[in-house]
Structure 1
Amino acid sequence: MDACFAPTETQWARLDRFADLLVAENARQNLIAASTVPTLWVRHIADSAQLLALDEREGGGLWIDLGSGPGLPGLVVAILSERPMMMVESRKRRCDFLRAAAADLDLRHVEVVEAPLERVETRSAATISARAFAPLDRLIDLSARFSTESTRWLLPKGRNAVKELALLPQAWQSLFHVEQSRTDAESQILVGEGKIGAKQRGKR
């Protein structure tokens, strides 16, 4: 875990339990690549936890995690903070896992929404994250209606962050900058702030 995090004893226990639940469920459905299981703590848990350091604003507010899948970063963030967490996932088996894991870990501030994002009721998000959801332009287009002037976007994009950002309309590009991942020297995170409105969408 990154040195900037100081999990409590309860949080450490929940992270450890989550790791066990994730590995066990991965044997039943493909949540993470089997090749990454030996490096689970760095590759997935610390990689998710680092997003909290990119949004340390007072007061928190609703965090919406898109395409939550195995609960990365949603469940990790929920374990390490009291932020209300809404995890959006369209696949039933993955939602079943997310609900069971949240109940097992006693994360009462977690809500799992089982639906394609297009069918999710619009809510104002303080933070929007997506670790492996969709190409950047489609991701932003689908989630723009959840954004406000103060929304923080946290979008891990691996090695292609700069390339994907360059393909966006200029109005979108201006909201984002690139941060280096603390867990992978070859990965980057797109960090943005602000509302994407109808007038911005599609402009180049």
Structure 2
Amino acid sequence: MSEDEAQDWIARHFGTEAKVGLQQLIDIVVTESARQNLIAPSTLSAMWVRHVVDSAQLVTLAAESDGVWLDIGSGAGFPGLVVATLTDRPVILLEPRRRRAEFLLVAADALGVSDRVTVHCARIEDVKITANVISARAVASLDSLFTWGLQCASSATRWVLPKGRTALADIAAAQEHWDGVFHVEHSITDPDSLIVVASGVTRR
């Protein structure tokens, strides 16, 4: 997928106006990346593919789950701020690193979504919130994410977790300790990369 194809995908799925807000997010992240290491420098030339569409596809995978979206380890705001830009749902961003949490607050305000976005400078295991959707991008294993975040989930919570090429092995390891419905989706930005979608997650 090229950068132009990524922008076309956003326009098809979310409308041409969505591109404006997402371009603003890109600009904010690129500017801040000169001050702190928000994203890998090698991805700066492919922001639409590597970060925007890679995040936005999660919205389509959670379309049937309304309500609060909780993003663990939000970092530069992917996928959390993309979700907030593309939807009208409440979004909670968890980021334990203070400088990044401060950046997320400023970015949410600049994007005009601060009325729906809450930023907690905290670890997931220290927060008690019930979320309809939980995401985490390149944070930890499924077993660790479920262990840390189970207190924020109900039986109806959908977990949307990009896991790259290790997804199937990660699911197998998690199923030693966890029950639930697990399936994988191929990422549209990299067909070899997989996204785990889980629901009804309970400890064995």
Q: How far, CA to CA, are the matches of 1:8 and 1:110 in structure 2?
A: 23
SS of residue paired to 2:42: helix
The answer as to 2:92 corresponding to 1:89 is no
- Correspondence for 1:46 among 37, 44, 53: 53
Q: Which residues of 2 match residues 13-28 of structure 1 at below 5 A?
A: 13-28=20-35
RMSD over equivalenced CA pairs, Å: 1.5
Q: Which residues of 2 match residues 180-195 of structure 1 at below 5 A?
A: 180-195=186-201
Unpaired runs of at least 5, structure 2:
1-5
2:3 is matched with none
SS of residue paired to 1:71: coil
Q: Which residues of 2 match residues 4-19 of structure 1 at below 5 A?
A: 5-9=13-17, 11-19=18-26
Specify which structure has the higher proportion of helix: 2
- Correspondence for 2:106 among 95, 100, 111: 100
Q: How far, CA to CA, are the matches of 1:145 and 1:174 in structure 2?
A: 16
Q: Shift of the alpha carbon at 1:113? A: 0.6
Unpaired runs of at least 5, structure 1:
none
Specify which structure has the higher proportion of strand: 2
SS of residue paired to 2:26: helix
Change (3 A) 1:44 1:173: farther
1:138 is matched with 144
The answer as to 2:184 corresponding to 1:178 is yes
SS of residue paired to 1:152: strand
Equivalent position amino acid for 1:12 in 2: K
2:62 is matched with 55
Residues matched between the structures, number: 195
Q: Shift of the alpha carbon at 1:173? A: 5.4
Q: Shift of the alpha carbon at 1:6? A: 2.5
C-alpha contact 2:143 2:177 (8 A) present in aligned 1: no
Q: How does the TM-score come out when normalised to structure 2?
A: 0.90
**1:167-186 deviation line (CA, Å, top 9, x unaligned):** 11346254211111111112
Q: Shift of the alpha carbon at 1:119? A: 1.6
Query: Runs of at least 4 residues of structure 1 off by over 6 A?
Result: none
Q: Shift of the alpha carbon at 1:195? A: 4.1
Q: Percent identity?
A: 45
Q: How far, CA to CA, are the matches of 1:162 and 1:169 in structure 2?
A: 11
More moved, 167-176 vs 138-147: 167-176
SS of residue paired to 1:132: coil
Q: Shift of the alpha carbon at 1:191? A: 0.2
SS of residue paired to 1:129: strand
Equivalent position amino acid for 1:7 in 2: G
C-alpha contact 1:147 1:194 (8 A) present in aligned 2: no
C-alpha contact 1:166 1:173 (8 A) present in aligned 2: no
Q: Shift of the alpha carbon at 1:118? A: 2.0
